[in-house]
Amino acid sequence: MEKQPGEQAAAEPADSGAGGGEGGSPQVAGAQTARPEDRLTLLLRLRAQTKQQLLEYKSVVDANEEKTPEQIMQDKQIEAKIEDLENEIEDVKIAFEIKKLALDRMQLSAALKKNLEKINPKTSVLMDNMKHVLKLNKLIMKSHQESWDLEEKLLDVRKKRLQLKQASESKLLEIQTEKNKQKNDLANMENSDKIKTIQQNLQMEIQITTVIQHVFQNLILGSKANWAEDSAFKETVLQLEKNLTMI
Amino acid sequence: MSVLRPLDKQPGLNTATILLVGTEDALLQQLADSMLKEDCASELKVHLARSLPLPSNVNRPRIDLIVFVVNLHSKYSLRNVEESLHHVDTTFFLGKVGFLITGAGREGHCSIHRNTVVRLARTYRSPLLFCDLEVEGFRAAVAQRLVRMLQICAGHVPGVSALNLLSLLRSSENPALEDV
């Protein structure tokens, strides 16, 4: 590795006396009057330089103040610390990228603004585009509003329908309960004992009357009388034929 | 072995020093001459070296910017630069180191692939410049760029620091988030 380092210091100062890159060495005659200004600008430049260099040194000192711990830590702690530091780095990187993007955006918008303020025929296309965009945006907003209104109406109609449905449901329920009540009452009535005894009595009477009818029929037939001749007699016989169970 | 540190000396007043490291002496000399011809408000000092480490017996001013010159035609220059990189302190790579690649114009003579140097620059997170140092016009252009970079690295431009310039020089193909 011990190569022959031939170092040549080509130190020719290219110093242009007047600040701001005004090339050409200051001439003797004209330099007398220009020297105080040169000196002043030189001093100001030196001031700016020393400020910047001081800033750099300060930042290096600040960066070096954060020391890594010397003591021996466990593996897991070290890993956790490494992860924390890496996360910090990632956060700073992301923040930086975002700031860069924001700067770019600002630059772009500034350039765009400047461009717009310039000559008209070139920017007319841009202005037309922007106006078109604005028009479309207004249309979009209007149609959004309309669709919102329509949706509101639809919602109202649906609500009403729901209410009506619920009302009809309750009514039908009422009707059903009433019918059921009637049926139950009827069944109750039919099942009650009173009616049964009445029915039995009725049956008994009908049977008795039928027996009496048969007796009278047989009486008349047995007497061998001609009941067809007398109309009143005929009516009585025919009445006896009536089947009382059918009534 | 002496290691180059960026801030171990006080800066000279209105002075900016650049160190060009490379094996091609003639090219380095021509580049140095072009740089000194540039108009610059501060005093420029150009040091040339074949390789690091520099001899410690010489009293030299604080070095603000190191540019490693690699010639794509010779593998020896690349190896030389790689070995010299070990003698540079890590804090130098915060914007005060640059790589200059020459000889990319003639594809037939290239023995090093372009990707090798791109990877090298990416490893060291430093800006990479391509220039054909044998052509006068290109040399003048790159000399102008180097003078501007040198002024920023020396702190002569208020508001911009070397680290700032490093983040600004990162192109969109090589975004900061992609490498961990």
Query: Mind listing the pLDDT tens digit of every residue in chain B (180 residues)?
Result: 467 787 878 888 888 999 999 998 899 999 999 999 988 888 899 999 888 887 777 778 888 999 999 999 889 999 999 999 988 888 888 889 999 999 888 878 888 888 889 998 888 888 999 988 888 899 999 999 999 999 998 888 888 888 878 877 775 555 544 454
Nearest C-alpha of chain B: how many angstroms from A86? 9
Whether A206 has its CB under 8 Å from any CB of chain B: the answer is no
**In this structure, are residues B22 and B71 in contact, taking their beta carbons and an 8 Å threshold?**
yes
pLDDT the model gives residue B106: 80
Place A189 in a pLDDT band, splitting at 50, 70 and 90. confident
Q: Which of A46, A55, A56 sits opposite B13 (nearest CB)?
A: A46
Average pLDDT score over residue span A207-230? 86
Phi, psi (rounded to 5 degrees) for B99: -115, 135
Nearest Cα neighbor of B11 from A31, A200, A65, A57 is A57
- Which residue in A14, A42, A53 is closest to B44 by CB distance? A14
CA nearest to A16 within chain B? B41
| Residue A47 to chain B, least CA–CA distance (Å) | 10
pLDDT reported for residue A122: 67
CA distance linking residue B18 with residue B149, whole number of Å: 10
Average pLDDT over residues A182-194: 85
Q: pLDDT tens, A123-169?
A: 677 788 889 999 999 999 999 999 999 999 999 999 999 999 999 99
Using the Cβ of A16 and the Cβ atoms of chain B, whether some distance falls under 8 Å is answered with yes
Contacts 24+ apart (CB under 8 A), B52-55: B52/A5, B52/B4, B52/B21, B52/B84, B52/B85, B52/B87, B52/B88, B53/A5, B53/B1, B53/B2, B53/B3, B53/B4, B53/B84, B53/B87, B54/A5, B54/A7, B54/B2, B54/B4, B55/A5, B55/A7
B109 secondary structure, DSSP code: G
Model pLDDT for residues A2-52, shown as the tens digit of each residue:
333 344 444 333 333 333 333 344 444 455 556 888 889 888 988 988 888
- List, as one string, the DSSP characters of B67-84: EEEEETT-HHHHHHHHHH
Strand-pair category, A8-10 with B97-102: unpaired
| Lookup: tokens for B143 | 């000399």
CB contact A5 to B (< 8 Å): yes
Span A201-214, pLDDT tens digits: 999 999 999 999 88
Q: Tell me, what's the pLDDT at B91?
A: 84
Q: What is the end-to-end Cα distance of chain B in Å, rounded?
A: 31
Average pLDDT over residues A180-202: 87
3-state percent helix, strand, coil for chain A, nearest multiple of 5: 80, 0, 20
Q: How far is residue A82's CA from residue A212's CA, in Å, rounded to a whole number?
A: 123
Q: Which helix (H) or strand (E) holds B43?
A: strand B43-49
Instruction: Find chain B residues with C-beta within 8 A of A4's C-beta.
Output: 50
B36: chain A residues, CB-CB within 8 Å: 10, 12, 14
Nearest-CA distance from A71 to chain B in Å? 24
Determine whether the interchain pair B43/A15 forms a contact, defined as Cβ–Cβ distance below 8 Å: yes
What is this structure's pTM?
A: 0.56
**Neighbour tally for B19: CB within 10 Å:** 23
Strands B15-21 and B65-71: parallel
Interchain contact, B162 vs A56, CB within 8 Å: yes
Supply the ipTM of this predicted assembly: 0.77
CATH 3.40.50.1970 assigned to B15-166: no
pLDDT given for residue B148 in this prediction: 92
Answer for the pair B132, B148: CB distance below 8 angstroms, yes or no.
no
The reported pLDDT for the residue numbered A184 is 93
Q: Which residues of B touch A91 (CB under 8 A)?
A: none
Q: Which of A5, A57, A96 sits opposite B50 (nearest CB)?
A: A5
Kindly list the domain boundaries of chain B, sorted by start residue. 15-166
Q: Please write the tens of the pLDDT for every residue from A85-136.
A: 888 988 998 898 899 899 999 999 998 888 777 766 666 777 888 899 999 9
Query: How far apart are alpha carbons B16 and B96 in whole angstroms?
Result: 12
Contacts of A41 (CB under 8 A, 6+ apart): A18, A19, A20
Cα–Cα distance, A209 to B171 (Å, whole number): 126
A29 lies within 8 A of chain B by CB: no
